[in-house]
Amino acid sequence: MSIQLEFRVTTGKPVYRGHDHYWSVIRDLGRGGQLFTFREIDLRCNDLDGECIGEFLRRLRRAGFLEVVETRQVSTAGSGPTNQKVIHQKIYRLLKRPSATPIINKNGSIGRQGLGQVQLWNAMRCLNAFDTRELTLAANTPQVEVRIETARTYVFHLENAGYLQVLRAGKGTIGSIWRLKPGMNTGPRPPKILRSKMVYDSNRQQIMGTPVAVEVAA
């Protein structure tokens, strides 16, 4: 028999990690042509080991969003001369600062992952009412095709999360009609669907450790 768990999210400390947060920090540090370092970004994040920040910086460099203007040798603090270590610290300059977080593949090419959700969310914000077919048509662009299965999945999750109001419940061959609740039009960034990986101890009937969530992007 499978285990079904219900989780309740309580207000707590914000999660200062992920590409959206890294990009907001980089835009702020690079405002007006100011130079900045990895360390300055890391201080504003709670990334576990800094590797995710480093990978995001590498992608931004390959895509031409920032450049390294200088590399400095910096001695790390220690209890004595023998404990000091010299590291190479890169100094960055931001070249492009769009408000939306750049979606970049590892090779530096512009990615499309997650754009389906962006377009679905934008369509929901513009339409007074919609079914999945109308939503799919409104969300499609020549650059990114949104499948009706993707629209159905996104609507399902947002309805369960309280974003959507059912104007007409579906029955048989008649589909449901929704609208975005006015109070849930929270802004231009789309709500993200996350998949969580966790360890559940059935003896204690509790989650052990910290659940890790990853984005399920369309």
Per-residue pLDDT tens digits for 74-129? 777 655 556 677 788 999 999 999 988 888 999 999 887 778 999 999 999 999 99
The amino acid present at 164, given as its one-letter code, is L
The amino acid present at 182, given as its one-letter code, is P
- Using CA atoms, how far residue 77 sits from 85, 86, 88, in Å, is 8, 10, 14
**Helices and strands (DSSP H and E) totals, the chain:** 6, 7
Task: Count other C-beta atoms under 10 Å from residue 163's C-beta.
Answer: 20
pTM, entire model: 0.67
Structure token pair of residue 90: 């890169």
Ordered by start, the domain boundaries in the chain are 19-94, 115-194
Interacting residues of 152 by C-beta distance below 8 A, sequence separation 6+: 132
The CATH number given to 115-194 is 1.10.10.10
134 phi/psi in degrees, rounded to 5: -65, -40
Do the domains spanning 19-94 and 115-194 agree at the CATH topology level? yes
What fold, for 19-94? Arc Repressor Mutant, subunit A (1.10.10)
